[in-house]
Amino acid sequence: MRLGATEPRKQLLSDQVNLEDPAALLETLEAAHRQFESAMIALEATASEGPPDASQFGVVRLRISQANLARSQIVRKICTHLLSRTSADEAEAVRELQRRDAQQFQTTSEHIRRWTPDELGRDWEGYTTSSRKIRAELREIIVAEKAIFYPLLRSACVVTAKADIGVLRVDRVVSTADAHAFSRCSATVFARNSGRRRPIIKSEVDEPVSRG
């Protein structure tokens, strides 16, 4: 697994995700997990056939390395989002995952440096033993991420949705003047929350707002 820059599309997705949007964070993490698991399967399939062609195996290692980097990037963003929004116990679980991920990333980097193409040719069995251990540890981390991050982000989505509804809904607009005032206020709220998935719904205002 060689470290390298992520593919432009995947890098762009991670860079552009809105830290204030738990739904976007969850969607990106789920995609990163699928990408990583697919790369893991490809590596295992290639390794199971015995010492592979060096160039072919280099491509497979690069793919899993990119997938792991993309996963780590979104996990860091999620931790930033959650640590200020969770209970003390939940925050401690998030920090523990942070520590595990940082440690595992270091271990994986050392594995990459250790097993150069030349070393693979000299000791394929030693590489496969080390690689199996690394993959098992990474899978354990992904299981933990799914168990901790998925529920927390889904709960955050519900809270955000309720907050949006509370901000954007009015019980009744009693006059044309009030309607104009609400229209101006709503436009300001929408501009400030332009990253939100749910726009202002005009039908939630009891009386139509004149554009005049």
Given a contact cutoff of 8 angstroms between Cβ atoms, the answer to whether 34 and 146 are in contact is no
**Tokens at 209, concatenated:** 């707002």
Same domain, 41 and 66: yes
Same domain, 95 and 183: no
Structural domain contains residue 211? no
Structural domain contains residue 38? yes
Same domain, 154 and 182: no
* Domain count within the chain: 2
Predicted confidence at residue 160, as pLDDT, reads 60
pLDDT tens across 98-148, in order? 999 999 989 999 999 999 999 998 999 999 999 999 999 999 999 999 999
SS3 17: coil
Structural domain contains residue 209? no
As a whole number, mean pLDDT of residues 140-167 equals: 80
User: If phi over 0 gives left and psi between -120 and 50 gives alpha, with beta otherwise, what is residue 111?
Assistant: alpha
Structural domain contains residue 210? no
Structural domain contains residue 124? yes
20 or 74, which is more confident: 74
Predicted confidence at residue 49, as pLDDT, reads 85
Q: State residue 21 phi and psi, 5-degree precision.
A: -110, 100
pLDDT tens across 56-80, in order? 899 999 999 999 999 999 999 999 9
Predicted confidence at residue 139, as pLDDT, reads 95
Same domain, 173 and 154: no
pTM for this prediction = 0.67
Same domain, 99 and 190: no
Q: What is d(CA 90, CA 84) in angstroms, rounded to the nearest whole number? A: 10
Given a contact cutoff of 8 angstroms between Cβ atoms, the answer to whether 140 and 104 are in contact is no
CA-wise closest residue to 184 among 173, 197, 171: 173
Q: What is d(CA 179, CA 181) in angstroms, rounded to the nearest whole number? A: 5
> Which range of residues forms the domain containing residue 181?
169-204
